[in-house]
Amino acid sequence: MSDIILRQNVIDELDFEPSIDGAHIGVTAENGVVTLSGHVKTYAEKNKIADVVCRVKGVRGIAQEIEVRPRGEHRTADDEIARRALSVIRWNTVIPEGAVLVKVQNGLVTLTGKVEWYYQKNAAAEAVRGLSGVVDVYNHIEVQPRATAYDVKKRIEDALKRAAEVEAKSIIVDVDGFGKVKLEGSVKAWSERKAVERAAWSAPGVKIVDDRIVVV
């Protein structure tokens, strides 16, 4: 497909989408990469345009250069945007309470914090995109899955295998679902016992280490 045809297909698709006003949108195409320019009234509309372009056959990439220019002369104050953002995030049941922090500067919303799942990170950004006055959203929320008992057990066992001073085969590791690790077996020196303990404590999610290793 030539760039000329691709550009026209993108323009036609934007015109076909009823939720978009393409009057102020410029479109160029080069080697399958579509560059979007111009301005829109809301950040939500800016994202919608990108979604529409993505569904056009032949599009290999998008350069998003559209500006958000809120309607009217009076922009929503940053502190008001922040209050609204925190409110919509708080009301979203899939986002853990208190997990997301919001910073707003000149309409640019920055989200930080930690969640367990990617869909929770995405939900936070989606929640604030449609707010009045928002011109862009930077989603810096970290996804840190909660370690399962199996994950913790495997991490500890792998650490023991890497430890030169530890005979990993002589150590039995048991982990419950509440962050408690039980160590059993035998070692030849106290320093080896301490090395096993260090390996256990180094795994994420460990709250208690019950060391029953015997020095023989």
Instruction: Report d(CA 12, CA 15) in Å as an integer.
Output: 5
Residue 84 predicted with pLDDT over 90: yes
Strands 67-68 and 33-40, by their bridges, are: parallel
pTM comes to: 0.59
Q: Among 18, 63, 61, 57, which residue's Cα sits nearest to residue 38?
A: 63
The confidence band for 196, taking pLDDT boundaries of 50, 70 and 90, is: very high
Whether 138 contacts 151, CB under 8 Å: no
pLDDT of residue 132: 85
Q: Is 185 exposed, middle or buried (0-12, 13-18, 19+ CB in 10 A)?
A: middle
Q: pLDDT for 120-149, tens place per residue?
A: 998 999 999 888 888 889 999 988 767 788
- DSSP-based three-state secondary structure for 133: coil
Whether 80 contacts 104, CB under 8 Å: no
pLDDT of residue 182: 94
φ, ψ (nearest 5 deg) of residue 24:
-115, 25
φ, ψ (nearest 5 deg) of residue 70:
-55, 145
